Amino acid sequence: MRSNATSADQPTKPASGWQTMMRVGPYLWPADQPWVRHRVMMALGFLLAAKMVSIVTPYIYKLAVDMLSQEAANDPAWMLTLGAVGLTVAYGMARLGAVVFGELRDAVFVRVGQRALRKLALETFTHIHRLSLRYHITRKTGGLSRVIERGVKGVDFLLRFMLFSIGPLILELSMVSIIFAVVFGWQYAAVVVVTIALYVAFTFKVTEIRVRIRRQMNDQDADANQKAIDSLLNYETVKYFNAEGREASRYDAAMQGYETAAVKTGQSLAFLNAGQSFLITSGLIIVMVMAARGVQAGTLTVGDFVMVNAYMIQITMPLNFLGTVYREIRQALVDMGEMFGLLGQPAEVVDAPDARPLAVSGGEIVFDDVRFSYEPSREILKGVSFRVAPGERLALVGHSGSGKSTIARLMFRFYDVTGGAIRIDGQDLREVTQGSIHASIGVVPQDTVLFNDTILYNIAYGKDGATEAEIVAAARAARIHDFIVSLPDGYDTRVGERGLKLSGGEKQRVGIARTLLKNPPILILDEATSALDTQTEKSIQESLNEMGQGRSVIMIAHRLSTIADADQILVMEEGRVIERGRHEDLVARGGRYAAMWAQQVAEEAAEAA
Ligand SMILES: Nc1ncnc2c1ncn2[C@@H]1O[C@H](COP(=O)(O)OP(=O)(O)OP(=O)(O)O)[C@@H](O)[C@H]1O
Ligand SMILES: [Mg+2]
């Protein structure tokens, strides 16, 4: 299970249109959910019924006309008994029937569609959480959620329009062509088919061009918008430099681009509509002239003439939306392709097929010549080895960027090592499940990020189903309880986006509280108290020490006084351990640690004075 550093660098590859459509299929025809299949069958049944009814409607209309124009001599006997009035009523019922069946179809299908959308959204969401930290650092989070949103919308659109607009349209066109061919002769069908073919070709062609113009228009719009926002954000700067005039002309230049593109959009729409109308009307006139001549020659009735017209109107009505539908479908395919591309993105860190849960007995941690690089070209850890005996406290110190937080990330298996091995109680991290590692290790990260919710929610996050008493106990231990109750809203205070309404130290203590609540056998503190004043730090340190009793702890610290009593101190430099030992030994040795210690003691003395 070696990590593949290059995979995350490649952009997500969108799936092709056809692949994308095939991906949706299983959601509409799931093997394990018969009710979905039943509903789909029912919806298709209603669809067919609606089309059948709408196909006979013009025929009934024709019969009524024939009846009224006394040409019904050779019509079936049952029709004569129905009479002209009866036929007219039947015509009305048929029209109503087509609508009712159509609505029934929608009502039955909506549940299938919505369930498919929900499943897809959930699958994508869970998949995104499975992707590596590396992936998430490189992608913009807002972009990811927009991919889901747009993708799901795309699927929704495609379902509705492919199944209930394009599909029925094709069905109806074929049926009408067949009726024309059988009843009036192949020439009629040929005219219809050619007309529709020309219409579709014209519409697609012009729409392609319009899509490009539309994109230009949107770009120009975004550009103008951005200039306006930037200018308003810099309100003060604009005033300082007397630049209102300059800003206005910059904005106007951007708006001018938009105007040009918008005019082109409007004009091309007019062209599209006119062209469509021309083609359809030509086809209509040709068929109607043919029918008129048939009536004159006595081979067709007036009812036939009317029926031809009714069919033509019926099939051309939905064609009006073809341009829009085509454009939207193309957009939907692009959006869905992006989402399925994301779903196809492999997770970098995956459980081995035979992975077992991590069994923590004492909590021994062993780093065995660990090598690691985020990017192949730059090695961050260059052979780090250490052992934390069960219940021991290990401290990592060293310059910024020497790889301390990286060690914590590897322990939590955000990444797999590129060389060597990490073992907890003798089990290689790559051979156990990620879930069990995450459950066994508590991390207070270097910078705590909070959910945009209440303080209570954020602390309770540490343990599913935590009681109020447990939460308060954790908050007390993290020395934040008194602060919380002093707030007007107490534990129900909202912390704002990413917790920005709290100070750095308050956030850090909330982070400590929720890890205390999690109560894991192994604890990693990455500068957990760096944002606190010395007084608060001392007092939290006590409760962290209490909590550390009987657990293995890895502490990362800048302020050496907080780790002076650790069982083992490692001094890191550029991905290597350059010194190790207990505080007294390291000070006595007079190496790098001793120098750092002397400097901090001097600084503290200066501060005190
Ligand atoms: N996702 C990443 N991709 C590439 N390089 C990274 C990434 N994260 C960290 N690094 C690099 O790895 C090196 C070690 O980073 P790390 O966060 O482990 O340092 P640190 O010892 O914790 O430093 P500090 O004391 O400032 O927290 C740094 O030089 C950093 O630039
Ligand atoms: Mg760090």
pLDDT at position 3 is 38
- The reply to whether ligand 1 has any atom less than 6 angstroms from the CB of 12 is no
Going 223 to 228 to 234 to 238, the CA torsion angle's sign is positive
Q: What domains lie within the chain, and their CATH numbers?
A: 11-343 (1.20.1560.10), 365-448+521-608 (3.40.50.300)
Structure tokens at 316: 């051309």
User: Which of the ligands is closest to the CA of residue 397?
Assistant: 1
Core vs surface per residue 382-395: b (16+ CB within 10 A) or e? bbbebebebbbbbb
Both tokens assigned to 564 = 């002076």
Judge if the beta carbon of residue 266 lies within 6 A of ligand 1: no
Task: Let me know: does 603 contact 595? Beta carbons within 8 Å.
Answer: no
**Contact between residue 607 and residue 561 where contact means Cβ atoms under 8 Å apart:** no
What would the pLDDT profile of 467-518 be if each residue is shown by its tens digit?
A: 999 999 999 988 889 999 999 999 999 988 777 788 888 888 899 899 989 9
Task: Point out the ligand 1 atom lying closest to the alpha carbon of residue 407.
Answer: 18
pLDDT of residue 78: 61
The whole model's pTM is what? Answer: 0.72
Distance 396 CA to ligand 1 centre (A): 14
Per-residue confidence (pLDDT) for residue 116, from 0 to 100: 86
Residue of 402, 556, 574, 576 to test ligand 1 pocket, by largest number of atoms within 8 Å of CB: 402
What pLDDT sits at residue 17? 67
Ligand 1, from 396, 405, 596: best to mutate by most atoms within 8 Å of Cβ? Answer: 405
Query: Do 371 and 1 form a contact (C-beta atoms < 8 A)?
Result: no
What pLDDT was estimated at residue 585? 92
Check if 373 has its Cβ closer than 6 Å to any atom of ligand 1.
no
Considering every ligand atom, which ligand is closest to the CA of 403?
1
Sheet architecture: strand order including 419-424:
381-388, 365-372, 419-424, 427-428
* Alpha-carbon torsion (595, 598, 604, 605), positive or negative: negative
Report the C-alpha gap between 550 and 532 in whole angstroms.
Answer: 26
Whole-number Å distance, alpha carbon 165 to ligand 1 midpoint, is 54
Helix (H, G, I), strand (E, B) or coil at 210: helix
Q: 413: Cβ below 6 Å to ligand 1?
A: no
Nearest CA to ligand 1 atom 3: 374
How many Å lie between the centroid of ligand 1 and the Cα of residue 252?
A: 45
Given a cut of 70, the residues of the chain with pLDDT beneath it are 1-17, 71-81, 140-142
Name beta bridge partners: 427.
424
Q: Give buried/exposed letters for 249-260 (b at 16+ CB in 10 A, else e).
A: ebbeebbebbee
The residue whose CA has the least distance to atom 18 of ligand 1 is 403
